[in-house]
Amino acid sequence: MHKACIVIALISAVFLSQATAGLAENALSSSKYSVPVLKIGSGDLLQVSMFENPELSGSYRVDASGSIVMPLLGKVHVAGETTEEAGTQISKLYIQAGILKPGNSYATVTTLEYATQGITVNGEVKEPGIYPALGIRMLNDIIAAAGGETPIAASKVIITHRNDPNHPLSVYYNPSALDPAVPEVQILPGDTIMVPRAGIIYVLGDVNRAGGFVLDGRQALTIEEAMALAGGPAKAPALNRVQLVRSLKDGRKEAITVSMNNIFKGKAPDVALKDGDVVYVPTSTGKLAAEQAITSALGIGTQVVVYRTAYQ
């Protein structure tokens, strides 16, 4: 028991030092991401304004081939261009066609309506769905609009920009950490935000702080470290009959008996935990620990408190 107390103190110190060490990295997170350039796509509605030529101005929908039909010019392919590039191209085409002179051929193009107006938010948020992209929308604003993250969200989000779907951006995002990480990333119409699920292990039974403990994918936990996170054994634990309940590939659950006393004394190797593992600490007066553990493993759910610990 004395060693268990020492382990608890050491684990807490290590986790706190890791959080402090990440201060510089997190402080830079807001400056690493540039605002992507939104390009014209099929289905967008464009407003083209020709300088001193209102008869050539108007609103035009980009067709399936990526083109708009301009007066006296016909089809002009604009998909894949920025609005500035489209304006420059239209101006040059009017000059090349001899319709306008260089001095009065100037086009301004703006997007009135995007084919995909909304921003899609999926994964571990409280209210997944599609949210409006009116004005400048930042990552944190959109996640807040979706009700915020669930307790089992990973410490990152994956952003897929409409203009570059083959290169999703993974961003470290953890506003609930000791040193909050909230990167300033602008989200544009048609973008998708995915909040992945983090790994989670459960420590139940005769411990001081029973519940689920979230893993962020970078920190592997052992059963001894998990016991430390749970505040260590409580009043009358049967530490020689601790049960590790693990899900098998076929959906069944198995219970493995672990002697925490031997692990604390260095007489047995520590056990690495996997996502979904349940550590059950029976009381010394308990009956069948394996049955209790499996029953607890099958019954965990919203009634179990989930903790996001300092090492995240």
Which pLDDT score is estimated for 21? 34
Residue written as tokens 């290169």? 167
Q: What is the CA radius of gyration of the chain?
A: 29
Is 45-113 in the same CATH topology as 32-36+117-195?
A: no
Task: pLDDT tens for the chain, 312 residues: list them.
Answer: 444 444 444 444 433 333 333 333 333 333 456 656 778 888 889 999 999 899 999 999 999 999 999 999 999 999 989 999 999 999 999 999 999 998 889 999 998 888 777 899 999 999 999 998 877 789 999 999 999 998 888 888 999 988 888 889 999 888 877 677 788 888 988 899 999 988 888 999 899 998 888 876 545 689 999 999 999 999 888 899 999 998 888 888 888 899 999 999 999 999 989 888 999 998 876 566 666 666 666 666 656 777 766 444
Q: Where are the domains of the chain?
A: 32-36+117-195, 45-113, 198-307
Cβ(275)–Cβ(246) under 8 Å?
no
Give the strand pairing for 192-195 and 118-123: parallel
What predicted TM-score, i.e. pTM, was given to this entire model? 0.61
Residue 194's H or E segment, with its range, is strand 192-195
Which pLDDT score is estimated for 302? 54
User: Buried b vs exposed e over 101-137: b needs ≥16 C-beta within 10 Å?
Assistant: eeeebbbbbebeebbbebbbbebbbeebeebebeeeb
Task: Enter the DSSP assignment of 15.
Answer: H
**137 Cα distance to chain centroid:** 16
Q: Which two tokens stand for residue 130?
A: 């599609």
Which pLDDT score is estimated for 15? 39
Give the residue from 128, 122, 132 showing the smallest Cα distance to 147. 128
Q: What is the CATH number of domain 32-36+117-195?
A: 3.10.560.10
Cβ(51)–Cβ(109) under 8 Å?
no
CATH of 45-113, one of 3.30.1950.10, 3.90.550.10, 3.40.50.10190, 3.40.50.720: 3.30.1950.10
Residue 52's H or E segment, with its range, is none
Q: Which two tokens stand for residue 159?
A: 């952003």
Domain 198-307 has what CATH class? Answer: alpha beta
C-alpha–C-alpha distance, residues 131 and 220, integer Å: 35
